[in-house]
């Protein structure tokens, strides 16, 4: 325990003086009782029992005084406050298919809105990074606890090219590890079996995509690598299963949400799949994130607690004195 105003503890030196005054008062009362006994005024049995308990109210009042004087010094104690901390990477699909309008105004805009909502809900103890992926992948914002930086990175995203979910997951793992993790474009599960990137159990990837994978490496195999590293993937489906048709470079291209692919990626890592069409469920992602819960000691002032204890003791002592002796002390 520490004190904000430790100098006030000097007032405790007055407590022995108060106790000495009480002892002197008790002795004077005992002397008068002895004088009365000498002339035949002997207390009855009930009075003798009350006399044996006469110090209890005074002791309670003395303790109340000590607690009150300690409260004057504004005591603090260290309290372990649990909170969640870790790293979350927002992996954005920025392929051409994200220009589709089956989510209004476009899939890309819907993904950005969902991501910004997610960023705003995070406490300062969680660092957020941003990865953009199409045929390749790029870390556009290293993990940071500055929400404005993460949101600015989200706003800069523009769709182009094809889709490689595997590259997106690899870049997200690189951002989590803080070092480049390279992989051949057509790597298979066998190629990744002996890859060791370390363990990052307090990290997670939130993958925002329509799930239409057009190039390697195998996304499920990379997801298995993430699972080995202790990283959970939470995928958000952007688009509709019915899909739509896009005009790209003069060609008509059909595109639809592939929920099966996104569900499989999340399942491999013990994560979860969500639909961006159901905005109410997006808030649940943070609750499901399997991040580390730590207890950080923090100084907390407990002046009110000592004041309450003092008040309780004072009331108890006064009540007992009134009930037993018909006076406060």
Name the nearest CA neighbour of 317 among 24, 59, 20, 34: 59
Better pLDDT: 197 or 264? 264
- Please check whether residue 294 is in contact with residue 85, taking contact to mean a CB–CB distance below 8 angstroms: yes
The chain-wide mean pLDDT, for the chain, equals 81
Q: What residues contact residue 159 under an 8 Å CB cut-off, 6+ apart? A: 94, 95, 96, 97, 98, 99, 108, 134
The CA-atom distances, in angstroms, between 158 and each of 100, 101, 133, 189, 247 are: 13, 15, 10, 31, 16
Global pTM?
0.64
Beta-bridge partner residues of 28: none
* pLDDT greater than 70 at residue 153: yes
Looking at residue 288, what is its pLDDT? 66
Q: Where are the domains of the chain?
A: 2-77+298-325, 94-290
Better pLDDT: 254 or 152? 152
- Residue 327 exposure: Cα atoms within 13 Å on the Cβ side: 4
Per-residue pLDDT reduced to its tens digit, 64-87: 888 888 888 888 887 765 656 788
According to DSSP H, which parts of the chain are helical? 14-38, 45-52, 55-72, 107-121, 147-155, 165-177, 189-192, 219-228, 259-268, 279-282, 284-288, 303-325
Looking at residue 263, what is its pLDDT? 93
Per-residue pLDDT reduced to its tens digit, 9-50: 888 888 888 888 777 777 776 676 665 555 555 555 444 555
- For domain 94-290, give the fold: Rossmann fold (3.40.50)
The CA-atom distances, in angstroms, between 114 and each of 143, 146, 236, 286, 327 are: 18, 18, 9, 12, 69
Q: Kindly state the average pLDDT of the residues 235-261.
A: 83
């Amino acid at each position: 325990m520490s004190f904000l105003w430790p100098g006030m503890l000097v007032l405790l030196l007055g407590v022995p003086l108060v106790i000495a005054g009480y002892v002197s008062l008790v002795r004077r009362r005992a002397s008068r009782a002895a004088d009365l006994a000498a002339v035949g005024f002997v207390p009855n049995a009930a009075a003798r029992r009350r006399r044996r308990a006469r110090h209890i109210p005074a002791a309670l009042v003395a303790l109340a005084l000590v607690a009150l004087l300690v409260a004057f010094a504004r005591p603090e104690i260290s309290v372990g406050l649990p909170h969640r901390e870790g790293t979350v990477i927002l992996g954005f699909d920025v392929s051409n298919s994200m220009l589709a309008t089956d989510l209004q105004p476009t899939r890309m805009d819907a993904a950005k809105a969902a991501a910004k909502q997610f960023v705003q809900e995070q406490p300062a103890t969680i660092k957020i990074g941003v990865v953009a992926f199409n045929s390749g992948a790029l870390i556009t914002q290293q993990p940071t606890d500055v929400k404005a930086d993460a949101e600015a990175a989200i706003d800069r995203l523009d769709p182009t090219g094809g889709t490689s979910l595997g590259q997106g997951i690899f870049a997200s793992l690189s951002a989590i590890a803080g070092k480049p993790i390279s992989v051949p474009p057509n790597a298979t599960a066998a190629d990744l079996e002996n890859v060791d990137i370390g363990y990052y159990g307090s990290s997670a990837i939130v993958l925002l995509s329509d799930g239409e994978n057009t190039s390697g490496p195998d996304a499920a195999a990379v997801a298995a690598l993430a699972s080995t590293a202790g990283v959970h993937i939470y995928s958000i489906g952007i688009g509709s299963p019915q899909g739509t048709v896009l005009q790209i470079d003069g060609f008509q291209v059909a595109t639809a949400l592939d929920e099966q692919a996104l569900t499989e990626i999340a399942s491999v890592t013990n994560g979860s799949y969500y639909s961006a069409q159901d905005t109410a469920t997006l808030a649940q992602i943070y609750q499901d994130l399997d991040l580390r819960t730590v207890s950080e000691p923090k100084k907390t002032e407990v002046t009110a607690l000592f004041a309450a204890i003092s008040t309780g003791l004072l009331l108890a002592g006064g009540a007992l004195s009134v009930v037993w002796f018909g006076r406060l002390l």
